[in-house]
Amino acid sequence: MIIISKEEVHQALTMPRCISLMREALTGLEEGVNTQSVRSTMAMPTGLLGFMPCYLGARHKFGAKIISVYPENSKRGLPSHQGQVLLFEEETGEPVALVDAGAITDIRTAAVSAAVTDLLARKDSRHLAMLGSGAQAIAHLEAMLAVRDIQEVTVWSYPKAHGEQYVENMKKKYPKLPITLCETAADAVKGADIICTVCHCTDPILFGNMVSPGTHINAVGACTPTTREVSSDLVKLARLYVDQVEACRAESGEYLIPLKEGIITKDHIVGTVGAAMLGRIPGRRSPQEITLFDSLGLATEDVVCADALYQEKLAQEK
């Protein structure tokens, strides 16, 4: 069995490469080439344990991600997502690789948002607002720069000290890019063309009256039926796209809470981003529409990355 470490994942899985892999994963799921079960989770005293299995028909592999999600780990200087992706050969069922899941999750989550942003955001989008300042805020800035000519970044974070450190670090990484820390989320998103919400929130931080017409939103941080980053009124205003309809109806607080409130109906989901990539459903229809991608994270995304890394390392070892 080949073992691929966190460091090897970060070195080999570049953002442009991962964006391409995510298009493969999402369209493969829509076409039925890839199949997966909805994520199974178990509550831990201060976090979650998740099990995410998937079969990749075109790659003749199957596998699963097993990961812990501990949002408070940042206070300990530890990543919030830790685990492994176990990869198997289809023909024999032999396990062939074990890949660091936290590193894959860091990169592929932002790469999915980039692939969707490239699909749904206005081509002239220049102003990015980042709500959050953790690992996903770092990855999402790189991802958004890969698909749009971002000229301005505004940031909001709680606590403020985390945001200050984030801005300082990102200015060193992108010295020519104007990056401003704002006092409120409303200030950060004012006039933004693209908004990425990457907070571990329980209650909304982004509301309808804060968002300009024509904005695209990637809602990334919340992933349980009782948590959300985006308010019910904003979900109603927006055209809602998801990574998988079944997962959204089982897990997404962004969808389930306004549905329970009677603010939206079951058919408010436009469809999957994979379907939009294949042209089976429309993407953005006008410059004034607000589009919302509710990102839950899928096993097919993780296992596609694991196989690509496995194939590369296998070739290197021959």
18-65 per-position pLDDT tens digit: 999 999 999 999 999 999 998 898 999 989 899 999 999 999 999 999
Q: What is the pLDDT of residue 202?
A: 86
Enumerate the β-bridge partners of residue 68: 49, 82
> Binning pLDDT at 50, 70 and 90, where does residue 77 land?
confident
What was the pLDDT predicted at 221? 87
The span from the CA of 196 to the CA of 186, in Å, is 13
Query: Which pLDDT tens digit goes with each residue over 153-200?
Result: 999 999 899 999 999 999 999 999 999 999 999 999 999 999 999 998
Question: pLDDT tens, 117-147?
Answer: 999 999 999 999 999 999 999 999 999 999 9
Inform me whether the pLDDT recorded for 269 exceeds 90. Answer: yes
The predicted pLDDT at position 228 comes to 95
- Specify the CATH class of 109-294 in words: alpha beta
Asked whether residue 263 carries a pLDDT value surpassing 90, the answer given is yes
Q: Which residues of 262-293 are buried (b: 16+ CB within 10 A; e: fewer)?
A: eebeeeebbbbbbbbbeeeeebbeeeebbbbb
Looking at residue 22, its pLDDT comes to 98
Closest by Cα among 106, 84, 123 to 214: 123
**For 2-105+299-317, which CATH class?**
alpha beta
d(CA 212, CA 222): 22
- In the predicted structure, residue 72 carries a pLDDT above the cut 90: no
Rg (CA), the chain: 19
Is the preceding peptide bond at 159 cis, omega within 30 degrees of 0?
yes
Both structure tokens of 151: 């000229």
Mean pLDDT in the chain? 95
Does 74 have pLDDT greater than 80?
A: no
Tens digits of per-residue pLDDT, 301-314? 999 999 999 999 99
Q: Does residue 210 surpass a pLDDT of 80?
A: yes
Q: From CA 289, how far away is CA 90, in angstroms rounded? A: 43
pLDDT confidence of residue 73: 87
Q: Are strands 152-156 and 127-131 parallel, antiparallel or unpaired?
A: parallel
Distance of alpha carbon 169 from alpha carbon 161, whole angstroms = 12
CA of 266: how far to CAs of 194, 257, 292, in Å? 26, 12, 16
pLDDT at 76: 85
Residue with tokens 């009782």: 226
Domain coordinates in residue numbering, the chain: 2-105+299-317, 109-294
Q: What is the pLDDT of residue 284?
A: 97
Average pLDDT over residues 280-307: 97
Please tell me whether residue 291 adopts helix, strand or coil conformation: strand
% of the chain beyond a pLDDT of 90: 88
Neighbours of 216 (CB within 10 A): 28
Is 0.85 surpassed by the pTM of this model? Answer: yes
What is the per-residue pLDDT for 238?
98
Q: How sure is the predictor about 80, in pLDDT bands with cuts at 50, 70 and 90?
A: confident
Q: How far apart are CA 208 and CA 47, in angstroms?
A: 30
- Cβ distance 144 to 150 under 8 Å? yes
**Which among 120, 179, 194, 115 is positioned nearest to 147, based on CA atoms?**
115
CA atoms of 123 and 285, how far apart (whole Å)? 13
